[in-house]
A and B are shown apart, each in its own frame.
Chain A
Amino acid sequence: METQFQTMMKEKSKEAIRMTGAEALVRSLLMEGTEIIFGYPGGAIMPVYDALYSFQNDVHHVLVRHEQGAVHAAQGYARVTGKVGVAIVTSGPGATNAVTGIADAMIDSTPLVVISGQVGSLLLGTDAFQETDVVGITQPVTKWNIQVKKAEDIPGAIARAFYIARSGRPGPVLIDITKDAQFANLDFAYEPIKYIRSYKPVPVVDTQQIEAAAQLINLSKKPLALVGQGVILGGAEKELTEFLEKTGIPAAWTLLGLSALPTDHPLNVGMLGMHGNYGPNIKTNEADLIIAIGMRFDDRVTGNLSTYATNAKVIHLEIDDAEINKNVHADVPVLGNVKDSLPMLTEKVTANTHDEWLEQFRACYRIEYDRIINKELYPIKTGLTMGEVIHRISSAFKDDAIMVTDVGQHQMMASRYFRFRQTRSVVTSGGLGTMGFGLPAAMGAKLGAPERPVCLFVGDGGFQMTIQELGTIFQTKIPVKIVLLNNNFLGMVRQWQELFFDSRYSFTELINPDFQTIAKGYFIESQKVTTREEIDDAIIKMVNHNGPYLLEVVVEKEGNVFPMVPSGASVSDIRLE
């Protein structure tokens, strides 16, 4: 869809207009459809901020409280909208503060364009004030980056950046712009990019590979589909469902594949990996065929590779050639966008059902339900569990909210117990596991999907890593619901200490501030709950509150997330307690 700005610019003559590099930058962003920018000003980016002052009606600039927050917010926005998130930071510390977010976006394939200011080009390499080699620092954690030293190169660099960020396997791109390039004048004309000679974002699907894959699928007695974020990034949810429904193949999902398939879909057999469900993990080694769909066999999913999927042939549908055979050998690699390859495959496979095989997953679920889920969701002990809180909140949102999480036990609990009806409903830091991601990402998610409720689950540890963004939430009036699951511990690390380090709780207990007072300081409505009796009313109050809300729930101090595949163990050695 075109933004107003794009239409207006098209109507104007194609003649170049004279302007500063800074204005050209802002206009270029607008030409790419940018509606929202998360940023933080400073010396080396001031010309751009000055230009932004004139475009306040065309683009919404959100002033964050820390550059890490700007990038995470842009990620949240990108994840729920599928559009490119944009962040602007200054040179030196501004740029280095952004690095964590950029690295997070890189490993989770999130399309971002990050603009950093840089010292004047004559000062480059002289250890000038607030000079850092941002291009060097971010090179390993960006899909592409570039330093621009001339005003006339700005529109081209932006066009390239957006094309690279959003095409193929998406990722973050950084453009470092010297201050003199922002000040200098150029003749502005904008031409989007559709092709780069050395870059092939979407491989063409090889029909022979489709044939070979279809043959394996038709012969398989115990196939298992693994659904990754590639399905969501490719917008292939419908194609996935059609494939699954025709073949009757049970589907399990990775953390980032969550919500591609509705929770209650009969073929949805749950989460893979370390804290995933019992069935999909244990059945991985019984399956005779693994169909990996837009996922990358992360070690948190596979456990020990030498004992992973030992009885299965592997079909790998993947857009990024570097992922093929990286961790798990693919008997039939199918390169391409899964939006293209899935329907081709669906056409070739014979309709089938796998009732008996599916029943085995249900049997596993019953075991997991009795041993774990029931106790977590309907506990009889006094302390509140994370699971019951998450479960109740999911219901209160009619299982149709966007779930954002931070990193830790609550993240795994939320992924296990929150339920989904529609895609692009999960924003979580998967590959990097970045504590502090949640709060800013939730802001971005809410701004990207204002019509949907956005509910953040965050631990008392991670909350304090980016807690300053409460200031942004207050100033910008972003109505996110924050559920702080407070166990007064760095819970996930404590759990590992309990299980693998003889309960030696080395520096994991937190003596916390009064979060209610903090919320008050930021003028954010809040409530603290410690008992089961209070919880439902509190949740309703939060859901119905018109504006941001902090619900702090004091949960049991030493709850554990189970099942668990201990790190380095086989998926078949999944522990139920």
Chain B
Amino acid sequence: MKEEFTLSIFSENHVGLLNQITNVFTRRNLNIESLTTSESAIAGIHKFTIVVFSTREEIEKVAKQIEKKIDVIKAFVLTADEIIHQEIALYKVPTKALLDGNQIEGLVRQYGARILEVTPEYTVIEKTGHKAETQELFEKMDKYGVVQFTRSGRIAITKSKAELLDNYLRKMELDRQNVN
């Protein structure tokens, strides 16, 4: 059965790693739903968060094939109930639409969105949340004319108390000392 998985991948910060990682998905003809990447909490270590629909069996294989890349430190496979995740969405509406009635303002309040910038021509509204929520707000607000809408990929943190990677890095450090 296919379900949604979030992969949390930690790697060294090297040129070309994104390509190496996405290649594993491409080879298996797996579509990436969302992908974000930036430096992790640990200096010098990069983090990729990838959302994908797949089977448990396949995603485990994918994770191992990603981890096999020399510069990848660790790939964690997480299901929805193991993580807290968010996406951010930005909406641009004509300021005129905002002033013409209080519907947009009502939506902003109702959805816990916030207004980022107002100019005479346009207003930018921001909402963070799950994709379904940001999508819903888009559909409601679009009745009043959304001129631009953009949504980020997912970022996620795990519910477990310990940071998965911290433990792993500590173990690696021990391994290194054993080598030398």
Contacts and interface: CB of A to CB of B under 8 A. Distances in A.
B5 to A, nearest CB: 17
B12 A197 contact: yes
Contacts of A197: 12, 73, 172, 176
Nearest to B169: A197
Nearest to A200: B175
Contacts of A321: 64, 67-68
Which of B16, B68, B172 has its CB near the most chain A CB atoms (within 10 A)?
B68
Nearest to A326: B61
Interface stretch (B19-27, B129-137, B144-152): B19-27
Given A139-B19, A139-B20, A140-B23, A198 B12 contact: yes
Interface string A290-331: 000000000000000000000000000000111011100000
Contact of A198 (B19, B72, B180): B72
Contacts of B65: 322
B23 A143 contact: no
B70 A199 contact: yes
Interface string B44-73: 000000000000010011001101101111
Contacts, number: 49
Interface in A92-148: 135-136, 139-140, 143-144, 147
A164 interface: yes
Interface residues of A, number: 21
A144 B70 CA distance: 7
A378 interface: no
Residue among A139, A194, A197, A200 with the most chain B CB within 10 A? A197
A143 B27 contact: no
A447 to B, nearest CB: 29
B72 to A, nearest CB: 6
Given A198-B70, A320-B68, A140 B172 contact: no
Kindly state the interface size class of chain B when it binds its partner.
Answer: 20 to 34
Nearest to B68: A322
B67 A322 contact: yes
Contacts of A320: 68
Nearest to A323: B64
A196 interface: yes
B99 interface: no
B19 A136 contact: yes
Nearest to B179: A195
Nearest to A198: B73
Contacts of A198: 11-12, 70-73
A528 B125 CA distance: 83
A143 B61 CA distance: 17
Interface in A175-220: 194-200
Contacts of B19: 136, 139
Contacts of B60: 325
Interface in B133-180: 172, 175-176, 179-180
Contacts of A326: 61, 64
Contact of A194 (B15, B27, B67, B179): B179
A196 B180 contact: no
A458 B100 CA distance: 82
B20 to A, nearest CB: 6
Contacts of B180: 194-195
Given A197-B73, A197-B172, A198-B73, A325 B23 contact: no
Given A197-B12, A198-B12, A198-B71, A322 B61 contact: yes
Nearest to A197: B172
A62 to B, nearest CB: 29
A389 B93 CA distance: 81
25 contacts: A135-B16, A139-B23, A140-B23, A144-B70, A164-B70, A194-B179, A194-B180, A195-B180, A196-B70, A197-B73, A197-B176, A198-B12, A198-B71, A198-B72, A198-B73, A200-B172, A320-B68, A321-B68, A322-B68, A324-B64, A325-B57, A325-B60, A325-B61, A326-B61, A326-B64
Interface of B: 11-12, 15-16, 19-20, 23, 27, 57, 60-61, 64-65, 67-68, 70-73, 172, 175-176, 179-180
Given A136-B16, A139-B19, A198-B71, 16 more contacts: A136-B19, A139-B20, A139-B23, A194-B180, A197-B12, A197-B73, A197-B172, A199-B70, A199-B71, A200-B175, A320-B68, A322-B64, A322-B68, A325-B57, A325-B61, A326-B61
